[in-house]
Amino acid sequence: MSVIDNVRKTIRYAGRNGVIEAYYAAKERVRDIVTDRYAYTAPTQEELEAQRREYEAESSSDHAQDLPLISILVPLYMPDLVLFEEMIRSVTEQTYGNFELIIADGSPDDSARESVERFQDSRIRYYRLDKNGGISANTNAAASHAGGDYLGLLDYDDLLTPDALYEMVKEIRKSAPEILYSDEDKCDVTAKHFFEPNIKPDFNPDYLLTNNYICHFLVMKTELFLALGLRPEFDGAQDYDLMLRAPWSGVRHIPKVLYHWRVHAGSTAGNPGSKDYAVEAGLQALKDYLKSGHIHAEVSHSRHRGFYDITYIPDIFTQRQDVGVVGGKVLNRKRRIIGGMMDEEGNVIFEGMHEKESGPAHRADSRQDAAAVDVRCMQIRDELQDLYRDVFRASYDEHILKGNDELTVKSLEFCRRVREKGYLVVWDPSFTHRL
């Protein structure tokens, strides 16, 4: 992102959230630019060749029927043909070859068809639509022609890494999940400069209710996708709406960048106007999810575009029977984080950050599920008070505020036992305690 783009982004942020908030956001952004060392590391040629040999050996063996067919869906309307052909090339060069690329084209001319024909690859299946129905309708049309075991969603101007399908299929053959997603990054129009990696957590329901962090590369069982379909009324956030309606019992995260989201003037990633459209569609999708689940809550835009705040009525424990504990930030006198969300070893996530900083992908400013939270800033549901007394040797009403290593250990134990009971431990950054 250029300096001018960052200045414009800061001005828009100040207009939404005020000067003080914008100051900390700009300070954090400048620091991130200065310290940014990200570079996409592609698999080596030796690794890619090994993957190809593995696929070729299995596809010609008695176990060929065990190789799942992946249907990649691409909705199309008046594409930039250069970017379109580069997308196709990123698919045809996959090291895992058992796929079909299904293109549903609502364009008024045959230019995209002509591009497809130049590839002379039987795995590419092109369908001309009677009319352009938008991204959801065109994707649904593509899905109606799919013969794969799984479907993958791909935008016409983005790119898959050469090992994307190989990595997805490796996990499919291991655990047969219903849904898979990977990490992603962004690239410029030349696809030579990569930036803003989105290194995602494993499936995290409350983080999903904050934003569509799953995004790309999304792969789903074909029968599940066909049962759900994309809903045109949520175009712009159709994949978010899809994930909100999908079952969450079989979701796997592939912790590798497998998708390059290309930024250019016509893309959602590069066009503020299209982002606003998508952000509003996401808000409506989230409202619909809560309403359909009979969860009484108000939904509003967060201070970060594309992120949402949920206010439960009267509280999260009343509306969410799956939540056992809510924890927040413990701050020192300089308003820096010294306690709060922890991993299973007791390491404080976001330690040292100022309370107004949001961190990579705004994780430090987003409600999400955690392994553990600090007892000094903790709320629990009534059913867990006996467990609280058993672990902390104190009544919950006494509100332990002074921290030490023993309290950290007990916080970890308490949250572990809460999770063993089937409850979620939720970290809420709006909930704070200052020492």
Structural domain of residue 388, as residue ranges? Answer: 314-434
User: 218 with 329, same domain?
Assistant: no
User: 1 with 62, same domain?
Assistant: no
User: 85 with 10, same domain?
Assistant: no
Residue 79 pLDDT > 80: yes
Say how far apart CA 264 and CA 83 lie, in whole Å: 10
Question: What DSSP designation does 229 have?
Answer: -
pLDDT confidence band for 21 (50 / 70 / 90): low
User: 425 with 349, same domain?
Assistant: yes
Evaluate whether 40 touches 257 at the Cβ level (below 8 Å): yes
245 inside domain:
yes
User: 341 with 320, same domain?
Assistant: yes
Return the closest-CA partner of residue 40 out of 194, 158, 254, 230: 194
Q: What is the pLDDT of residue 354?
A: 95
Return the closest-CA partner of residue 78 out of 124, 131, 123: 131
For residue 20, the SS3 value is helix
122 inside domain:
yes
Structure confidence by residue, pLDDT tens digits, 104-133: 999 999 999 999 999 999 999 999 999 999
pTM score of the predicted model: 0.90
Distance of CA 316 to the CA centre of its chain: 23
295 inside domain:
no
Cα dist from 129 to 64, 155, 318, whole Å: 34, 17, 48
| Residues 388-415: b if buried by 16+ CB within 10 A, e if exposed | beebbeeebeeebeebeeebbebbbebb
288 inside domain:
no
Rg (CA), the chain: 23
User: 219 with 86, same domain?
Assistant: yes
Q: Tell me whether strands 124-128 and 99-105 are parallel, antiparallel or unpaired.
A: parallel
Contacting residues for 315 by C-beta, under 8 A, at least 6 apart: none
Structure confidence by residue, pLDDT tens digits, 165-174: 999 999 999 9
11 inside domain:
yes
User: 63 with 127, same domain?
Assistant: yes
294 inside domain:
no
Structure confidence by residue, pLDDT tens digits, 382-431: 999 999 999 999 888 876 766 678 899 999 999 999 999 999 999 999 99
Contacting residues for 331 by C-beta, under 8 A, at least 6 apart: 337, 338, 355, 432, 433, 434, 435
User: 83 with 191, same domain?
Assistant: yes
User: 203 with 59, same domain?
Assistant: yes
User: 89 with 238, same domain?
Assistant: yes
66 inside domain:
yes
User: 391 with 340, same domain?
Assistant: yes
The total of structural domains in the chain comes to: 3
145 inside domain:
yes
Domain boundary among 272, 306, 332: 272
Residue 13 pLDDT > 90: no
User: 319 with 196, same domain?
Assistant: no
Evaluate whether 185 touches 260 at the Cβ level (below 8 Å): yes
pLDDT confidence band for 180 (50 / 70 / 90): very high
Burial of 431 (0-12, 13-18, 19+ CB in 10 A): middle
